[in-house]
Amino acid sequence: MYLYAQEVCKKYAEDEKQILHFTPTHFLQIFQCYKRLLKERQLAMKEMSERYEAGLEKIRQTQNAIHSYHKELEAKAPALQNRMRQLFKIINDIEEEFVDVKRQRDQLKRDQLEAEISTEQALRIKEDCE
């Protein structure tokens, strides 16, 4: 590899008309730098891979939870529909009772008014008699 680097330096010198001195010490320094950068990249790739795998696991867990919730919802759907029917029936019954109560209240108001009129007439007759 060192010999290849020397050949590249010679070619560079011929093409660019600049001399590059590439000593074994330079080669070792560059090679150490390359090894360090490679380890850093490998570590970064490993961390990214672990994060990716953790994300995939979370997605799988969420997918399983959604599936179980969906099954639970499907199982409870008939009961929920039955409960809704019962609630609508109760609401209708309450509305009917409200109409009856309103009708009775109106009747009581009319009866009260008639009673007040009768009371006033009775008081007038009483006063006339006295």
- The 10s digit of each residue's pLDDT in 75-85 is 999 998 999 99
At 64-116, the pLDDT tens digits run 999 999 999 999 999 989 999 999 999 999 999 999 999 999 999 999 999 99
> Is the separation of the CB atoms in 5 and 27 below 8 Å?
yes
Percent of the chain at pLDDT exceeding 70: 98
Burial of 4 (C-beta count, 10 Å sphere; 0-12/13-18/19+): exposed
Question: What's residue 86's pLDDT?
Answer: 95
List the chain domain ranges.
2-129
Question: What's residue 10's pLDDT?
Answer: 82
Question: What's residue 46's pLDDT?
Answer: 97
Give dist(CA 64, CA 58) in Å, integer: 10
Mean pLDDT rounded to a whole number for the chain: 90
Question: What's residue 88's pLDDT?
Answer: 95
Question: What's residue 3's pLDDT?
Answer: 78
Give dist(CA 18, CA 10) in Å, integer: 9
Residue type, 44: A
- Give the number of other Cβ atoms within 10 Å of residue 39's Cβ: 10
pLDDT confidence of 35, banded at 50, 70, 90? very high
**3-state SS assignment for residue 23:** coil
Enumerate helices (H) and strands (E) in the chain, giving the number of each.
2, 0
Give dist(CA 114, CA 16) in Å, integer: 121
Question: What's residue 54's pLDDT?
Answer: 96
**Is it the case that residue 60 has pLDDT exceeding 80?**
yes
> Is the separation of the CB atoms in 12 and 18 below 8 Å?
yes
